[in-house]
Structure 1
Amino acid sequence: MFDGLTGDLIKAELRARNVYTSSQVVRFIGATLKMYSEQYPTISRFVRRDGGFANPKVHKLVEENNVFYAIRLKVNATLYKGREKWI
């Protein structure tokens, strides 16, 4: 986990190579998000994550801690379906 403005490392954890990237992500980031929410209640917090972390448990965690988030999804046909409506 890195600070997006400074690039400073906030937290790191080694995992077995056969464990999916987002396994235990709620446990990993939950305490940090809660601590930032309690210590800095008036600042805006943002989380950027890739598609591997786009799951309901993570959505619930960030929303409960009043954290804004963006998700980078891989390009796929479903995302492009109907895109002409957006452009």
Structure 2
Amino acid sequence: NPKILIFDEATSALDYESENIIQKNLKQITAGRTVIIIAHRLSTLKSVDKIMAIDRGQLVEYGTPAVLLKKNGLYAYLHRQQSGGEA
């Protein structure tokens, strides 16, 4: 029973339906653990508490998804781009 789990692009090769099934099961697997998720597909980050946005190897933003969306920085840009909104 590890205390820390790291998922590096764990769902990148999956379609969105399969990813949703895994997301539902991850809640049980990750309960009570620290989880680090590395992802380019932001839908993978639906239930995270904090996000670290890294650009060219540098940390450029850190905070909750809601706060980062309001900041209108890199995370907000990527979110708009991936959700079909204007970039």
TM-score range, shorter chain: 0.3 to 0.5
The structure with the greater share of residues assigned to strand is 2
Which has the larger Rg?
Answer: 1
TM-score (norm 1): 0.32
